[in-house]
């Protein structure tokens, strides 16, 4: 993805949801796209699949390529072969994504037959094997279950099986653990990591919690208000976060961020939060989009938007969109914006 720009039009006004978003998901690697709600993560995923709601949304510029193929240049018929074929997607809430009147095996079999010439019987057997692969207990029996008869974790495994049915080269997982308890979250993330290793597919993991992706991602891309504010190898971003927004996200992790305070004279713990709210993207601020919530803001931040600057020592490709990286001795560290 290079310089992607997406906007929404409503009531005579235009909202720029994504502004020059660029990143690469290497083959066999995991890239985590992180940020709070409303930052543009899901819009990015829907743009890749060309599922943005028409006529309100439009892609205004940039390119999206898969194995050298420009997805934005494909006809809708050609894109249908890619969508659910070369690219699979796991949506946030499986209960609203699965059809309540069909068994889970029937729904997986339908996804299989859309991309492979196969009889109904063979497709069902393939569906059962997929359920077994994703850790479904008694798949031959539970394949006849309806979505409402399954737990949230089991429904998410069904969604993963459906996404894997056509053996995609890229799997997009849009907050696949949001509605799950902590234990089930860990199981689903472990499952995704195992399946990625077995199939050599690439994984784009969308999340709002840096703690969730810390051990799974190879690369991290941090989005804020439709702009990439930091990106680089996961170990570098987590060990040396260089944008104030990334540091604020890390401080908000409960295990790391709890600090003592007093409530009515009694000692307690408080979780740090990020003050303020996302800017109105119908009229974004002139300079840095994080300026009104940043603890380190200065005049230049309000006057002009920052580029992406390489983070010293520059051994990898870690970069952040912050003027704090342009201090004395760092003037030559500009990167692609």
Amino acid 223: pLDDT = 97
Domain count, the chain: 1
The distance of Cα 179 from the centroid of its chain, to the nearest Å, equals 15
* Mean per-residue pLDDT over the chain, rounded: 87
* Distances in whole angstroms, Cα of residue 242 to Cα of each of 64, 146, 287: 27, 47, 18
Name the pLDDT band for 337 (thresholds 50, 70, 90): very low
Average the pLDDT over 138-160 and give the result.
91
Amino acid 335: pLDDT = 42
Q: Are the C-beta atoms of 236 and 314 separated by less than 8 Å? A: no
* Distances in whole angstroms, Cα of residue 69 to Cα of each of 51, 57, 75, 261: 18, 23, 12, 55
pTM of the predicted model as reported, rounded to 2 decimal places = 0.87
| DSSP SS3 for 244 | helix
The helix-helix angle for 120-133 and 152-164 (nearest 10°) equals 120
Residue 205: pLDDT over 90: yes
**Does a structural domain hold residue 180?**
yes
Average the pLDDT over 331-337 and give the result.
40
**Does a structural domain hold residue 300?**
no
Amino acid 331: pLDDT = 38
Beta pairing partners, 16: 7
**Does a structural domain hold residue 184?**
yes
Residue 206: pLDDT over 90: yes
Domain that holds residue 171: 25-50+71-224
312-327 pLDDT, tens digit per residue, is 755 568 999 999 998 7
Q: Are the C-beta atoms of 231 and 215 separated by less than 8 Å? A: no
**Does a structural domain hold residue 4?**
no
Residue 265: pLDDT over 80: no
**Does a structural domain hold residue 155?**
yes
**Does a structural domain hold residue 334?**
no
Name the pLDDT band for 336 (thresholds 50, 70, 90): very low
**Does a structural domain hold residue 298?**
no
Average the pLDDT over 142-161 and give the result.
91
Amino acid 109: pLDDT = 93
Amino acid 329: pLDDT = 38
Looking at per-residue confidence, does 331 or 43 come out higher?
Answer: 43
Average the pLDDT over 77-94 and give the result.
87
**Does a structural domain hold residue 1?**
no
What CATH number should be reported for the domain holding residue 108? 3.40.50.300
Amino acid 189: pLDDT = 85
Average the pLDDT over 299-323 and give the result.
87
Average the pLDDT over 66-88 and give the result.
92
Average the pLDDT over 69-86 and give the result.
91
Residue 231: pLDDT over 60: yes
């Amino acid at each position: 993805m290079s310089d992607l720009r997406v906007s929404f039009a409503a009531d005579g006004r235009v909202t720029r949801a994504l502004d020059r978003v660029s990143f690469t998901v290497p083959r066999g690697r995991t890239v985590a796209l992180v940020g709070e709600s409303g930052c543009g993560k899901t819009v990015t995923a829907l743009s890749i699949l060309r599922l943005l709601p028409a006529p309100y949304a439009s892609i205004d510029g940039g390119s999206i390529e898969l194995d050298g193929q420009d997805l934005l240049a494909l006809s809708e018929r050609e894109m249908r072969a890619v969508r659910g074929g070369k690219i699979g997607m796991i949506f946030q809430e499986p209960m609203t994504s699965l059809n309540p009147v069909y068994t889970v095996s029937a729904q997986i079999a339908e996804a299989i037959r859309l991309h492979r010439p196969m009889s109904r019987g063979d497709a069902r057997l393939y569906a059962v094997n997929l359920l077994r692969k994703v850790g479904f207990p008694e798949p031959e029996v539970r394949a006849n279950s309806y979505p409402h008869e399954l737990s949230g974790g089991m429904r998410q495994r069904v969604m993963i099986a459906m996404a894997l049915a056509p053996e995609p080269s890229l799997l997009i997982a849009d907050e696949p653990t949001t509605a799950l308890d902590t234990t089930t979250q860990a199981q689903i993330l472990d499952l995704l990591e195992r399946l990625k290793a077995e199939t050599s597919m690439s994984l784009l993991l969308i999340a709002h919690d840096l703690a969730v992706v810390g051990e799974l991602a190879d690369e991290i891309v941090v989005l804020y208000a439709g702009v990439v504010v930091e990106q680089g190898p996961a170990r570098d971003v987590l060990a040396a976060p260089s944008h104030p927004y990334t540091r604020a996200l890390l401080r908000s992790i409960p295990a790391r961020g709890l600090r003592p305070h007093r409530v009515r004279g009694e000692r307690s713990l408080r979780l740090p939060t990020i003050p303020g709210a996302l800017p109105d993207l119908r009229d974004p601020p002139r300079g840095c989009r994080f300026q009104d919530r940043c603890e380190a803001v200065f005049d230049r931040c309000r006057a002009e938007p920052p580029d992406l600057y390489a983070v010293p020592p520059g051994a990898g490709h870690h970069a952040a969109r912050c003027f704090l990286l342009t201090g004395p001795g760092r003037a030559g560290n500009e990167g692609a914006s």
